[in-house]
Amino acid sequence: MKREWGTRFSRRVQLAAALVAASAVLMSTGPGSAASDNAIGPGTTGGSAATTARPVPGTTAFKVVTHNVQRKRPAVDAAIAQAQRYGARAIFLQELCRDDFSMLRERFGRRWTLSFQPKGVHRSRAGARVCVNERYPGQMVPDGVAAIWTGGKTGTPRRFLFRAQDAKHGDKSSGLACVLYASSRVRLCSVHSVYGDTDVRKAQHQEIRDLTASWVAAGSLVVLGGDFNTVPTGSAMRSIYVAGRSAGGRFREVSRAGGMDCRCGAGTTGRKAENRVKFDYIFFSSNAMAVDARRASYALPSRSTTSDHRMLRGYAEVSLPR
């Protein structure tokens, strides 16, 4: 009788332990946890469903959100909300109206560092959305690119003009909006390359390569994000990627295949899946990101924004400069 009671007690202990373990697993992968936030989901490349942002010794999980907001304030609000939920250190915005940047600076300027580079008043086909001056609705104002560091207000905003400009569409001052921090050892830059003119786009990417070369050589971590207006295998991307045939760049993208570098990724433009292509990217300089570094990218569903670009978030484990 005593032996039977002891056996029942032992089984009850084992059952209780199993329930506790199952609860712990559910809590660790539930909504809002690190595992679920960084898990690979629909429209994602690289890693597995168990991939998390927990860094290995000596590295840091660096999170980024980038979005072409298509001159729409609701898309701006959606990108900022997503970045705050995700815990992004860097936010990159493209086709951002000047007045929307002023709004962001008023809201977050006391705790974030923000940089804006206008590219000119948008000219496009009839009916295309333009940036309207909020004080004087009859006037148009420029749109441009913005880079935001959410780690503090002590960063340094910097702007870099491209020599190659798309004058046909009204671009007069297209370039990079950057934020420098940690004594300029970390440099975050938002990119929006020209759309139609292949030669101008190639020239702009070569300028990015040449500009960032000295930064990478000096040991800085350089993070690029934005709308590069071409697919990963496009010839203009040779100046950005470190991977691939004829590649001459210094950057690794957060998308990968088979655990290694690739020039690939989920489509980020177009609201219909069959029409999507990848134009939006998150890059880390290869001096700080190993080829086998844990990383993940996720193109959010179209319903998450009013823009015709899908919002892109991602992270990679990088070595921060000392």
- Global model pTM greater than 0.75: yes
The DSSP secondary-structure symbol of 5 reads H
SS3 101: helix
Question: Mean of the pLDDT values across residues 231-240?
Answer: 94
Q: What angle, 0 to 180 degrees and rounded to 10, lies between the N-to-C axes of helices 73-86 and 98-108?
A: 40
Identify the pLDDT of residue 81. Answer: 98
pLDDT digits (tens, 9 = 90+) for 101-110: 999 999 999 9
Domain ranges across the chain: 31-318
Query: Residue 167's closest CA among 197, 130, 132?
Result: 197
pLDDT of residue 274: 62
At residue 300 the predicted structure's pLDDT band, cuts being 50, 70 and 90, is: very high
pLDDT mean over 273-293: 90
Greater confidence (136 vs 150) lies with 150
pLDDT of residue 124: 53
Q: Quote the mean pLDDT of the chain.
A: 81
pLDDT for 35: 30
Q: How large a percentage of the chain has pLDDT more than 70?
A: 76
What pLDDT is recorded for position 156? Answer: 97
- ∠ Cα 44 50 53 (to 5°): 80
At 133, the pLDDT band (50, 70, 90 cuts) reads: confident
* pLDDT greater than 50 at residue 15: no
CATH architecture of 31-318: 4-Layer Sandwich (3.60)
Distance from C-alpha of 127 to C-alpha of 227, rounded to nearest angstrom: 22
- Residue with the bigger pLDDT between 5 and 174: it is 174
